[in-house]
Chains A and B, each alone.
Chain A
Amino acid sequence: QKEVEQNSGPLSVPEGAIASLNCTYSDRVSQSFFWYRQYSGKSPELIMSIYSNGDKEDGRFTAQLNKASQYVSLLIRDSQPSDSATYLCAVKAGMASKIIFGSGTRLSIRP
């Protein structure tokens, strides 16, 4: 079982719609959860972090965490063509622990 699992996609969403990206993790002691966006040929950039159960909103992005189900999701509202990228889910167990990444979901926003 992979430590962090994501559907590789591609996920195709029409412009203006909501894109929903999902991630599950295996280590129950995980404490910190991150979403990174990676454009083709570029390095990952942090877009959201979440540490407690529930929703966290930042502009068009909402991260959702359910520790009981070991599930993290990212919603992108009013999807734009510039949102087309690979989205990486990442999980950290503790303060000094390594951050483990999923394989990423490729998102394509069609005009």
Chain B
Amino acid sequence: ETGVTQSPTHLIKTRGQQVTLRCSSQSGHNTVSWYQQALGQGPQFIFQYYREEENGRGNFPPRFSGLQFPNYSSELNVNALELDDSALYLCASSAAEQGSSGKLFFGSGTQLSVL
């Protein structure tokens, strides 16, 4: 168990809808990263939040957005869902302070299906 929790575990949406995924980070971690993992592929970096600010973004369109709250929990929002957005969405927390390893600890993921 990593202490990172994600909700919901599964979600079914239709094309064009909007979705919000949630993540609670491990105690002591101030950084949250979101990844998209399609079947048979490695996790693709979406973005990272550090102390409530976006701190790096991957090659994803603006309809993918996020938030980090003062308690370091985070949300991933996806607007105008497309069929290709169907994937496992992984949240990972880490500590970004000097001297930390930067290791990622993953939640169990949210499986999103877009019909």
Number of A-B contacts (CB under 8 A): 57
The CA of A49 and the CA of B50, in the complex, are separated in Å by: 22
Q: Is B67 close to A, CB under 8 A?
A: no
The CA of A37 and the CA of B103, in the complex, are separated in Å by: 14
Interface residues of A in 55-111 (CB under 8 A from B): 88, 90, 92, 95-104
Q: Is A43 close to B, CB under 8 A?
A: yes
Asked if residues B42 and A102 are in contact (CB atoms below 8 Å), the reply is yes
Chain B nearest CB, measured from A25 CB (Å): 13
Asked if residues B98 and A88 are in contact (CB atoms below 8 Å), the reply is no
Asked if residues A97 and B56 are in contact (CB atoms below 8 Å), the reply is yes
Asked if residues B96 and A95 are in contact (CB atoms below 8 Å), the reply is yes
22 A–B contacts from the bound complex (CB under 8 Å)? A32-B101, A34-B103, A34-B104, A43-B88, A43-B106, A43-B109, A46-B103, A46-B105, A88-B42, A88-B43, A92-B102, A95-B96, A95-B100, A98-B33, A98-B56, A98-B58, A99-B104, A101-B35, A101-B43, A103-B41, A103-B42, A104-B42
| Chain A residues near B (Cβ < 8 Å) | 4, 6, 32, 34, 42-46, 49, 88, 90, 92, 95-104
